[in-house]
Chains A and B, each alone.
Chain A
């Protein structure tokens, strides 16, 4: 045990905590200042966690199989970039993106198709809501059996997982426009499609983007878990399960770091597009670009 490292890490942690306590009590004069503090506080917290993690794992000599220090994970990550890139391409660029686009597209199209039939809506919506509570990932072994080991089976799992949230949200969104607005469209003598494109779809956009964001997370989970059921020798889920078996925990952590990064970047990308498209929505107007 190396007590200097542990004490040093705890000291840094306490110092950063103190800084944060001071920062949140400040009353910033300008909006830019407030934003900077809003970013600085969580960043400092993240740094504090990393320092504490590093200090404790190194100081107490925690076996690296239990928890490798962050520096070791970083070293492993930078050393095996080509391998990580291949996994990323297989899992994210093929299974996740294709499955996500197909699932969301299908959900959207079906929602538009059943829009005119109250009967189908009444029948499908409770089912769609019900399916969202089910462990849909369980279809992974079936899809692997049907579509083989390569990425199409993972994309199929992702399609099934993302379809229902999109369907339910789009139908809810299409119902979001008020009676008065629809009446106005009627007085303009607009037909069904004009009302759909000029009034109802824009009103549905916040709901649709919500589904897109939920689905971005679901898609990654689906693709990674599906790879546990059989895969070619590349892919993030494959790498995680085999490297765990070989007790190469630092590689697993590097892969998880990549997955986390990809997941949040995916989410953030959709959120940015949402801001650009639904700029008129109150929740975005009031929040500003924070």
Chain B
């Protein structure tokens, strides 16, 4: 009980509870005009307050769906629908997740490779680094529809174009973090390696790489989150075929707010799961390396 009160669990739970309450109040408030309208059209005049509130929380296409509606929709589309059906959110989540993971792996590999190149060649460092930093300030995501459509024109469709967008987005944080990490050993440590007559490769694998790992994991957490955003946005321009982004788009076409919210929550769950997995890998790796966490 002591730990519960002093820790973060209780405050977080209470804030979450407050959010749910606010959500319910907001749902009633935002859905009121439409409900009044319906009553007028059906000429129901003897409605009670309880009935009114229940009705606002159970509309078919509410302005703001109530939490239990979203939960019911997610239960229906995740648990009760077969995972290979096109109505299943798991099916769409898997499509988004697969291109996210492919893009993330490619982006991280590319980022590490580029960071090593930057470390070893001064000309690449001086000419490329300013551009990499500058490119973080531009809205790269705007290119997403073009990459999709252009690659479609060449005959590439489906997984690869989306994964390329995720690659593109996730490689920047990895390059910046890895360059910083690979340069993090102090002069004294480098001097020690020098006195051991270590070669450049030995210094790299025994000193630079291990000391860069914390930076790598920190960048990978950012990268995996942004790779998911890239995959979702990459699904928009193809016109709502499959994936969580497509669910968002088709929901917005047909005014299916419950569908939008459940896709949004699934996407958030996927993002949280991915970040947690990277965090877990981080803790396992660093513990094996003897770090105190």
Q: Is B36 an interface residue (CB 8 A)?
A: no
Cβ-defined partner of B257 (8 Å) among A119, A145, A217, A247: A145
CB neighbours (8 Å) of A45 from chain B are 127-128, 131
Instruction: A130 to B275: give the CA distance in the assembly, Å.
Output: 9
Cross-chain contact B268 with A224 (CB below 8 angstroms): no
Q: Is B14 an interface residue (CB 8 A)?
A: yes
Cross-chain contact B139 with A229 (CB below 8 angstroms): no
- 0/1 string, A112-136, CB within 8 A of B gives 1: 0000000111111011001011110
Cβ-defined partner of A245 (8 Å) among B149, B244, B260, B263: B149
CB neighbours (8 Å) of A46 from chain B are 131
Interface class of chain A by DSSP: helix
Cross-chain contact B236 with A260 (CB below 8 angstroms): no
Interface class of chain B by DSSP: helix
Cross-chain contact B142 with A224 (CB below 8 angstroms): yes
Query: For B63, B122, B145, which residue has the most chain A Cβ atoms within 10 angstroms?
Result: B145
Q: Quick one: closest B residue to A121, CB to CB?
A: B11
Cross-chain contact B142 with A259 (CB below 8 angstroms): yes
Cβ-defined partner of A126 (8 Å) among B8, B14, B63, B126: B8
Q: Is A263 an interface residue (CB 8 A)?
A: yes
Q: Is B90 an interface residue (CB 8 A)?
A: no
Q: Quick one: closest A residue to B96, CB to CB?
A: A135
Q: Is B249 an interface residue (CB 8 A)?
A: yes
Cβ-defined partner of A146 (8 Å) among B14, B63, B129, B141: B63
Q: Quick one: closest A residue to B222, CB to CB?
A: A133
Query: For B122, B137, B257, which residue has the most chain A Cβ atoms within 10 angstroms?
Result: B137
Cross-chain contact A256 with B142 (CB below 8 angstroms): yes
Cross-chain contact B146 with A133 (CB below 8 angstroms): no
Cross-chain contact B8 with A122 (CB below 8 angstroms): yes
- 0/1 string, B140-152, CB within 8 A of A gives 1: 1111011001100
Cβ-defined partner of A225 (8 Å) among B130, B131, B141, B271: B141
Q: Is B264 an interface residue (CB 8 A)?
A: yes
Give chain B nearest CB distance to A266 CB in angstroms: 8
Q: Is A3 an interface residue (CB 8 A)?
A: no
Give chain A nearest CB distance to B1 CB in angstroms: 16
Q: Quick one: closest A residue to B13, CB to CB?
A: A123
Q: Is B291 an interface residue (CB 8 A)?
A: no
Cβ-defined partner of B63 (8 Å) among A67, A145, A217: A145
Binding site for B on A (CB under 8 A): 17, 20-21, 23-25, 38, 41-42, 44-46, 65-67, 119-124, 126-127, 130, 132-135, 137-142, 144-146, 216-217, 220-221, 224-225, 228-230, 236-237, 240-241, 244-245, 247, 249, 252, 255-256, 259-260, 263-264, 266-268
**Given A45-B128, A225-B141, A229-B236, 5 additional A-B pairs, CB 8 A:** A41-B123, A42-B129, A66-B150, A123-B11, A228-B145
Binding site for A on B (CB under 8 A): 8, 11-12, 14-16, 63, 122-123, 125-131, 134, 136-143, 145-146, 149-150, 153-154, 221, 225, 228-229, 232-233, 236-237, 244, 248-249, 251-252, 255, 257, 260-261, 263-264, 267-268, 271-272, 275
11 pairs, A vs B, C-beta closer than 8 Å: A121-B11, A122-B11, A123-B11, A133-B225, A133-B275, A134-B271, A141-B251, A145-B63, A221-B140, A224-B141, A249-B150
Q: Which 6 A-B pairs have the closest CB atoms?
A: A123-B11, A141-B252, A45-B127, A123-B15, A267-B137, A122-B11
